[in-house]
């Protein structure tokens, strides 16, 4: 059996439903191996400011179903500078931390990589982001819930779109990745999905879109038209696109930006299970001496991937696009 370690855990970057489930799994798994667990608050800010608390079984009781994160989350610009990295590393040494578990996304893992240059302890990552834009895991914690939340909103928007015979542009989150739009669009039966991965020529795409919307309404009186649009997918906003659809197609159009509602809410079963699997896997790999890697699930198998490869998502995005095209005309 591995010797007792002092393990730190933090949640960083955009919050995602299921982060609490991951904290719970990390804590309970670590305690079962006689390790001590310390939760640092507000991401890397907690390291820099030495703001932490010791976690025990009671600390994580009754949190698996809760959205958000009991450890809070934040961006930490100081981690982009040597002084901030040194301060975080010194705090870890001062607190006699042996290993750090980082729950977050791409930016959080880049911070972990940079920190590793100043601190010799083990670092393991757990992918927690609704964007599902991390290489090395088929899904990230929070993605299932974000899709479910977006789907519920789109279904309600469909009701009012049909009542008024309107076109709706529904913008979903995803940062620079269109996977939320693709999945929510498929699940909701959206007439159009708009994301960077599916657009080769924006002007040509928009012109064709205007024609499709106009033809759809003209050929099927009383029908609605719903477009699910990934944020940052076009050079114009969802509101501007809706205005242009009205102008070019003659069809009354509205926009709806779902925004931060997608980050909230109780995690669905898929996210709770994924978070539990990854949290336990993180401790198993720490016990085995792993360092500088993220744990993930690929083809239903627990895997690890070095931090420097987690942002390489080109092939992953191509796979999603290929899958989408198989389901759509």
Q: What is the mean pLDDT of the chain?
A: 94
The span from the CA of 160 to the CA of 164, in Å, is 6
pLDDT, position 2: 59
Identify the CATH number of the domain defined by range 143-263.
Answer: 3.40.50.460
The model's confidence at residue 321, banded by pLDDT at 50, 70 and 90, is confident
pTM of the model: 0.95
pLDDT, position 221: 52
**Active site (annotated) includes residue 155:** no
Same fold, 6-142+267-313 and 143-263: yes
pLDDT, position 1: 46
Query: Is domain 6-142+267-313 in CATH 3.40.50.450, yes or no?
Result: yes
What average pLDDT score do residues 183-207 get?
95
The model's confidence at residue 222, banded by pLDDT at 50, 70 and 90, is low
**Taking a C-beta distance cutoff of 8 angstroms, is the pair 170, 226 a contact?**
yes
pLDDT, position 218: 74
What is the torsional sign of CA 71, 72, 76, 78?
negative
Residue 278 pLDDT greater than 90, yes or no: yes
Give the ranges where the chain is alpha helix by DSSP (H).
19-32, 44-49, 82-94, 106-116, 143-164, 179-188, 202-219, 238-249, 269-287, 314-327
The span from the CA of 150 to the CA of 144, in Å, is 10
Residue 71 pLDDT greater than 90, yes or no: yes
Task: Compute and round to an integer the Cα radius of gyration of the chain.
Answer: 22
What average pLDDT score do residues 77-98 get?
97
Q: Sort strands 293-298 and 301-306 into parallel, antiparallel or unpaired.
A: antiparallel
| Per-residue pLDDT tens over the stretch 198-214 | 999 999 999 999 999 98
Q: Per mean pLDDT, which range of 12-21, 231-240, 319-328 is the poorest?
A: 319-328
| Per-residue pLDDT tens over the stretch 146-172 | 999 999 999 999 999 999 989 999 999
Backbone φ and ψ for 255, nearest 5 degrees, come out as -120, 150
| Per-residue pLDDT tens over the stretch 99-158 | 999 999 999 999 999 999 999 999 999 999 999 999 999 999 999 999 999 999 999 999
Q: Which of 131, 133, 148, 271 is catalytic?
A: 131
Residue 176 pLDDT greater than 70, yes or no: yes
pLDDT, position 3: 85
pLDDT, position 50: 96
CA distance between the termini of the chain: 55
pLDDT, position 31: 99
DSSP line for 187-228: HHT-SEEE-GGG-S-HHHHHHHHHHHHHHHHHHSTT--EEEE
pLDDT, position 215: 87
- Please report, for the chain, the start and end positions of each structural domain, with discontinuous segments joined by +: 6-142+267-313, 143-263
């Amino acid at each position: 059996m591995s010797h007792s370690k002092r393990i730190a855990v933090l949640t960083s970057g955009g919050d995602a439903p299921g982060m609490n489930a991951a904290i719970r799994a990390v804590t309970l798994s670590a305690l079962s191996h006689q390790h001590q667990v310390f939760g640092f608050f507000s991401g890397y800010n907690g390291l820099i400011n030495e703001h932490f608390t010791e976690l025990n079984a009671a600390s994580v009781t009754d949190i698996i179903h809760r959205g958000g994160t009991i450890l809070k989350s934040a961006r930490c610009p100081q981690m982009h500078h040597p002084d901030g990295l040194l301060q975080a590393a010194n705090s870890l040494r001062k607190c006699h931390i042996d290993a750090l578990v980082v729950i977050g996304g791409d930016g959080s893992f880049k911070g972990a990589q940079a920190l590793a240059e100043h601190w010799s302890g083990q670092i393991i990552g757990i992918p927690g982001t609704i964007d599902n834009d991390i290489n090395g895991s088929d899904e990230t914690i929070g993605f299932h819930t974000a899709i479910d939340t977006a789907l519920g909103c789109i279904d309600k928007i469909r009701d009012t779109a049909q009542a008024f015979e309107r076109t709706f542009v529904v913008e979903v989150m995803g940062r620079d990745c269109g996977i939320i739009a693709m999945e929510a669009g498929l699940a909701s039966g959206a007439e159009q999905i708009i994301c960077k991965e599916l657009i080769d020529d924006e002007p040509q795409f928009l012109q064709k879109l205007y024609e499709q919307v106009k033809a759809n309404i003209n050929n099927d009186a009383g029908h609605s038209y719903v477009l699910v649009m990934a944020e940052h997918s076009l050079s114009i906003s969802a509101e501007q696109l809706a205005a242009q659809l009205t102008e070019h197609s003659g069809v009354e159009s509205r926009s709806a930006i779902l925004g931060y509602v997608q980050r909230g809410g109780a995690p669905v079963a898929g996210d709770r299970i994924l978070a539990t699997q990854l949290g336990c896997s993180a401790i198993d790999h720490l016990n085995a001496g792993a360092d500088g890697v993220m744990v993930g699930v690929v083809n239903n198998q627990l895997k690890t991937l070095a931090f420097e490869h987690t942002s390489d998502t080109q092939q992953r995005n191509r796979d999603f696009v290929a899958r989408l095209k198989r389901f759509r005309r």
